[in-house]
Structure 1
């Protein structure tokens, strides 16, 4: 099984000891400069504990590797997420603790629809390469072994996106650095049913 390359992102793990990695493994291939940083929580322990989740099995899929800047043809060597983060922070969502990339999770045969996201940022002018884009975010959780990780569904609106589209069964998630995650791994994804509708 191939190790997941540097193509996914991070948000906050509640009450975690970030002096130790979450899992063993050789991902990423070199220490990330954010590895020892304190991640910012944007939803509290009390809210995440009382939230009613819709739980689904999700499979880790290869992405386009544009978000992380790992694609050989990427126009963003540092990754698109790294360029977008300051714009999101200026509008109220601090992702400064994120590992810059996305975790692509397939919930097939189900599909999803973003119906009432916690954050929607319109006309984010983050690059000179194409017109501004709309982005939405919904709080979620990922269960990996005996750990539950707070994360965000990251949704670039397809109506303003130029290329690198995802199918309707694949969610892009910003989650903590998880060095043992591999393509093909099955995870449990907890979604907020008030914000994301799951379609058969």
Structure 2
């Protein structure tokens, strides 16, 4: 990948804006604390004259800086991304059960509001929509591979009501479960 050429002032503006788009482009090091961060780090901003910019982790660590504990630039993924991944895993593992946003938030240890916003920011869907997609995909698989009735599949994949199952299935697969079954044969 070609290195993006940014001036010191442009980089400074990026860290003031906490712009995630530049997290893999450069790192910010603070001379006084000997800590380095991602450009998107929400920690208190240092004085401009105490800031240095580095291209990669090896270079900044060789200069004697340690990773910020808040934004964890030494990890390959951001802490937010690991939370999103944890939520996805939780939803996949518990799709058959009745799951509400409070359960998911409790699992990852954050507020429901922040979790919903963070998940949507990284996946473009809410946790509820993601869970619904998992259930519809599982239902489609069961339609293909079993002789279970649509009603049995509805409850098997975790839907609480047949009407919601039919509505979600039609939305996800653009046809009813019965039409999907006919196409599968």
Which category describes the TM-score, using the shorter chain as reference length?
under 0.3
Give 1 or 2: higher helix fraction.
2
With normalisation by structure 1, the TM-score equals: 0.19
Which has the bigger relative contact order, CA under 8 A and spacing at least 6? 1
